[in-house]
Amino acid sequence: MEALLAELRAAVNAELVWSLVQALLILLVGFVLSRIVRSRSAAVLQRLGLETYSGILVVSASWLVLAIAVAAALQHLGFDLSVILGAAGVFSVAIGFASQTSFSNVISGLFLAMERSFSVGDVIKVGTTMGEVLSVDLLSVKLRTFDNLYVRIPNEVLVKGEITNLSRFPIRRADFVLIVPYGEDLDRVRDLLMELAMREPLAMVEPKPVFQILSTSELGVQLQFSVWAARERFLDMKTATQIGIREALDDAGIAHPLPRRVLVHEPPPGTEPTAG
């Protein structure tokens, strides 16, 4: 009887050891697969033009593979996954409450990856922050501003708010708003500005510059002169044209109207105005 029990125990132990070995093998395969996903998916994402978001996508994919391997290994050992998942559910609710913001950022990062609104190297504006995108990570996007500050913006903020990508299109338009005094010949002003744009090599001939009257104010007529430039030369064009406008208007004797106040001194009633 004892011998039979010992034999039975040995058989059970052998089966358990064998199951453990198999579970470990499953884990090992899962781990290797996860490493492969991590190393190879970067190249695949680059081919798909998603390299900017590879940080989020690669980590998510490799974790998913690893999680499936762990679940398969546990199931192989005879664990009831539904019980484990139930327990995990309760646990994850607790964790979820504690790390709600982080999960929101991860999910927002996946939405950003799907939308592809910007890439690493693009210049974007989020709220009042403008800068070059350094990286798009699991929880946040890192920017370098033009005054060389490092700014971290949570993915959630980017999904919820407005993003302006200044690098998406190859050409950009600069709008110059100026005020000319009432009585000035607006046709003459338009000709001056158009001639200026023709002279400035960085200002594009086409799309043509646009001259329009915006409004009238107490100072004079408010105009907008819009000129296009290649994205890379935008700032150079903007500066050169701004200086050119000032010089052209000065040379033509068109003054920039300044706020004027007329002070009228009236003597108190009953007194005679004094001379001098």
Q: Which stretch binds other proteins (CB under 8 A): 38-46, 78-86, 198-206, 260-268?
A: 198-206
Residue 28 binds other proteins (CB under 8 A): no
Residue 193 binds other proteins (CB under 8 A): no
Amino acid letter, 76 = H
Amino acid letter, 248 = A
Q: Which stretch binds other proteins (CB under 8 A): 28-36, 179-187, 193-201, 217-225?
A: 193-201
Q: Which stretch binds other proteins (CB under 8 A): 13-21, 115-123, 165-173, 257-265?
A: 165-173
3-state secondary structure of 98: helix
Looking up tokens 């950009």 gives 172
Q: Which stretch binds other proteins (CB under 8 A): 72-80, 108-116, 146-154, 199-207?
A: 199-207
Give the shortest CB-230-to-other proteins separation in angstroms.
Answer: 5
Give the shortest CB-208-to-other proteins separation in angstroms.
Answer: 10
Residue 76 binds other proteins (CB under 8 A): no
Question: In terms of CB distance, is 71 or 171 closer to other proteins?
Answer: 171
Decide: 120 and 134 in contact? Cβ < 8 Å: yes
Strands (E), 129-263: 129-136, 140-145, 150-154, 163-165, 171-180, 210-216, 221-230
In the chain, % helix, strand, coil (3-state, to 5) comes to 55, 20, 30
Residue 10 binds other proteins (CB under 8 A): no
Asked whether the CA dihedral 188, 185, 261, 251 is positive or negative, the reply is positive
Single out the residue of 120, 134, 233, 252 in contact with other proteins (rule: CB under 8 A).
Answer: 233
How far apart CA 244 and CA 227 sit, in angstroms, is 13
Q: List Cβ neighbours of 122 (8 Å cut-off, separation of 6 or more).
A: 132, 133, 165, 166, 167, 168
Residue 156 binds other proteins (CB under 8 A): no
Q: Which stretch binds other proteins (CB under 8 A): 21-29, 178-186, 195-203, 246-254?
A: 195-203
Site string for other proteins, 171-190 (x = CB under 8 A): x-------------------
Quick one: tokens of 34? Answer: 């996860």
Residues that bind other proteins (CB under 8 A): 169-171, 198, 200-207, 228-230, 233
